[in-house]
Structure 1
C-alpha cells in the first residue's frame, strides 16, 4: 500500500518494479510482521538471516520461492560487528565491505537480483532513475552494470560529492549514464520523483527507482541490523543500541522496522550533519523541509528526507514518535575534531558520515552512558580522502574494488536542475535507441 493511501494495494513484486506509488507516496506493507528471534538460525550467514527476515513480506508472491537465492546473490560480503578496543561497550557495524565501499551495496544488489527475476510484458528497456548524494548511485550502477534490457540514469549534485564518489558515478559506461545536476541533492530527488509520476513520460520511457524510496532497497537493509542484534543478544542476552548516520532516513528506517518486527534492538539514535530538518523536528518543532546545506558529510546533505513519510506511517502518534527517537546535529568542526582525535588517540579512521555517529556516541559517553552501542559505519574513509587524510596525517588504504574503479576513465553529462531538462534527456535516449 502507499503511505498516502490513495493508490490500490499491490503485491511486493509490483511495488519493487514500480518504485513509487501512483499517488506519489512510498510503498509500505499493510502491516509490519512480527518475528520471534528464536526463528533465526544461530549459525546462519547474513544471507540466511535476510531470507528468514524477509520471508513474511514475500509470502504468496511470485518471488517467494526465489528469495533465498536472491539473498545469497545479494549478500556475498559481510557486515561485521567489530568491537573498538579502546572503547568498552562500543562496537562498529561495518557496512562498507561491498563492491563500492558503502552500505548502499546491500540494497542495490538485492533490488537488482529481484528485478532480474521479474517478468516484464514491455520489451522496451527499463530505465532505473537514481538521485544520489554520493554513494547510492555507484552502488546501483555496480549492481545493474551490463544487465540486459536495463539502463540506469544517475543524477548527482555537481561539485557536491567527493572527487572519488564522482569518479565512481561516471566510470561504468555501457548501460549507465551519469548526469551532473546544477543544483543540490534535493533537486535531484525532486526531478526523479516528478519523472516517475509523469504518466505520459512513463508511457514513452518505462521507469522505476532505486533510491531508498524503493521498497526493494529498504527491506534488505533491515538484514544487517537483525544479524548484528541477534548475534549480540545470543552472546550477551541484552539489546544492542544503534547510532545511525542519517540523511534521507532510509537506513534508519530499516533499523526501526527491524526493531518493530521483534528483533532485539534497543535505542536508535540519528546522527545528522548540519542539515537540521530531523533534529529540529525531534526537538519539538513542526516538520519543515528546507534547502540542503553542503557539509563534509555530503551523502547526508538532505533537507527534505523522503523516508519521513514512512516514519510517520510507522509511528502515526507524533508525541510517541518524538519520545521514541532522538536526532542530533553534528557540524563540520565537530566532524573534523572527531576524525582527528580518534585517529591520533586510537588509530581508528572514520569517514565523515561515520564520524557524525561517533561524535554522538562520544557525547553520550561523556554524559555517563555506559550502554552497549553500535556505531554504524556507512562508508569507507578512502572515498573521502580529501577530507580525511589532512586530518589524520596519513594516507587511507584504498579497498581493491574501489581502486579498480578509480583506475577506469569516467565521464558525466551536465544537466540543469529542472524537471523539464530531465524529461528531455530521457526522451532523447528513447529517440536514439
Structure 2
C-alpha cells in the first residue's frame, strides 16, 4: 500500500529543491539540527508560497522531526503546528494534513492512554488568542480526557476524506510525486488516487479499539447479513448507531469501506471494486467471530470469487476460502488452492494458495515421550506423522554409559565437554 511521505529516506523533489533537501538530510544525519532548522524553515516558506504540496508537507514533517529532537513536549507542539497550518493550507495539502493530524492525535493517545483513563472531562476549547497556534484553540492536551481526544481523531480522519472528495478522486498518486511513497504497480492500480490513500489511512486508524473506552449500553452491532452481500447491497445499507456510541471504531471503518465501495461502483473499475470487497470481507470476518454472522464469510468468498472470475484478483477470494478450510477440511483446502493456482498462476492469490498448499502437504514426523514414568510400567513413546505413506521407527533402551557415548559423538566436542560434568 502507498503511504504518505514520512522521513528523509523517501526520494526528494526534483531540482532546484533536491539539492537543498540533500543538504538538510546530510546535516540531520550528523545530528546538526540547529544548522538544519533554518534551512528547513526556508524550504517550508518557499513551498508554502508556491503551493508546492509535496515540498510543503515534507517541510512540515521535517519541522516535526526537529521538534522531536529538542522539545520535551514535542508531541503537543507538533499537533499545534499542524492545527495552525491546516487552517490556511491549500488542496491537496489540506486533506493530507487532516490525516496526519489524526495520526498525531492517535500517537498521543497511545502514549498517554493510562493517564487518559484517569482523567475526567477536560476544559472546553478556548478562543483566547494569547496562545496562537495552540492545539484546538488554546486548550492544552494535558487537560483532555480520552473521549475528547478520541473525538478529535475521528473528526480529523473524516475531514481528510470529506475535503473535496471529487478532487481527491481525480488526483492520482503519480500527481502527488514523492508525497505518496511505496506500493507496487498492482497495488497502485487498485488504489490509484489520493482519496484511496487517505481513506485507507482512516480505515486503519479508526479500527484502533483503544479509542473505544466508554462503551454505552446501546451499541452498534454488525448483525445484517447484507454486510456480507454484494457490493451493491453493502453500499445501500444504512449504517447507524446510537448517539452515545459515536466512537465505535467498527462503525466508522464500515462506513468508510462503504464510501470506497460506492466510489468504485461509480468508477466502473471492477478490479479496484474487487479489492475493496476483499478488504471488507476480511474485516467483517475479524469482527463477527462467535456471532450469528460468522457463517456468512465463506459463502461470501465463494460468491465473489465467481463474480470476479475473469480477474486475477479472484484468486485472492479462493485462497481465503482455502485458508478457512485448512484445519477442518485440509483435503478441500488443497483442492481450492489448486483451483486458484490453475485460474491465474502468476497472480498474488495463486502465490498465497500455493504457499498454503505446500504447507498442508509438507511431510511431518514428530516423536514425543511421556514426562512421567511409572515404575514397572512401559515408557510411552508417541509417533505422529502427516503426509507420510510409510514410516519405519525403532526405539532403543540406552544405559547411562551409552547415553554419554551418544552425546559425546552426536555433539561438537566443545559442547560434549560442557555436558560432561552434568552426565557424571
Q: TM-score, normalised by structure 1?
A: 0.28
Greater C-alpha radius of gyration: 2
Say which structure is richer in strand. 1
